[in-house]
Amino acid sequence: MRRRSLLIAVPAGMATLAACGDEDSDSSKASESTSPSPSASETSAAPAPKIVDGPLPAITAGTKFGEKPTVAKGSGDPSDQVAVKTVIAGGGQTVAENDYIQANYLGQIWDTAKVFDNSYDRKTPLVIQLAQGSIIDSWRYALAGKKVGSRVLMSTAPTWGYGKTGNSQAGIKGTDTLVFVVDIEGTFNAKSSAKGKTVAQDDSKLPKVSTNTDGKAPTIDVPKADAPTKLVAEYVIEGDGDEVKAENTVLVQYKGVLWDTGKEFDSTYSRKALTSFSLQQVVKGWAQGLTGKKVGSRVLIVIPPKLGYGDNPPAGSGISKDSTLVFTVDILAKM
């Protein structure tokens, strides 16, 4: 499944920024985002640009962090590289290449000031990985090293934007220099964890999940008791973010073990890589267990066979038929 999103796909489509395709029933191996289009290699093959100070057009309205900006038309010839200016310096975590970022942004064309995309009107920030092939290269080079809470103004020559083909859907020609304003709201990597208040785990018949938030895998202590026959989805740490909806795609850390043996069969912590998936593309236990839970939370999910893999577990997964599955899931962001 291709997640309909916006902006920063490479040339083939503003509307298909990143893939989040999960195999229909594979919640234990929620598939990781892949390159959004074949054209990604075209923009990613260019050598690194020089990062220069300007020229850059002025932000004439909406000058505060989080406000929708208005940006003047470019004056004169733009840089043939990537021009970057930190308009507002944040004091949060530093963004690194290959991190996922959460950001609001506006993009327009240098010569005309025509806005071709923005997240402010949608009231939904973009969450995407700053990785080669996932996003146009100028974002990777311009935002790495910036801090959460920063507003960044940048321009990009076509080489590090949509290339010579442009993006006809967005009205971008292959010769257009693009201007972006980016408000960096958050950054996530393999050491990210849930953030919130610890919730008591009082039921002795349910697994106990550790509450460490140091980026290391939580422990799961499965009791020597019969597995529940109904879905269990309980907060271990309750975040204060938006509630996840059934149609959302989420960015997560997770670990899964078997009820019968406590053996781990899958984990983002072991892979040292976050994963994203659509709740419409996973087993029912994942979708039902995370729907309604808040971003920032750690959730214990116990999935009975009828809401998991039943008698048809994935080949080579280490999961037997009719297994009850136990997960700890950190919901880092909605995408």
Rg (CA), the chain: 22
Say if CB 303 and CB 273 are below 8 A apart. no
Closest CA relative to residue 121, chosen from 70, 74, 167? 70
CA atoms of 305 and 66, how far apart (whole Å):
44
CA atoms of 333 and 294, how far apart (whole Å):
9
CA atoms of 192 and 281, how far apart (whole Å):
24
* 238 strand-pairing partners: 197
Q: What is the pLDDT of residues 4-50, one digit of tens each?
A: 322 332 322 222 112 223 333 333 333 333 322 222 334 456 899 99
User: What does the DSSP assignment read for 175-218?
Assistant: T--EEEEEEEEEEE-TT----SEE-----TTS-EE----SSSPP
Say if CB 35 and CB 11 are below 8 A apart. no
Q: What is the pLDDT of residues 170-206, one digit of tens each?
A: 999 999 999 999 999 999 999 999 999 999 999 999 9
pLDDT at 45: 67
Q: How many residues in total does the chain contain?
A: 335
This prediction has a pTM of: 0.85
* 211-to-200, 201, 292, 299 alpha-carbon distances in Å: 10, 11, 21, 11
pLDDT at 44: 53
pLDDT at 46: 86
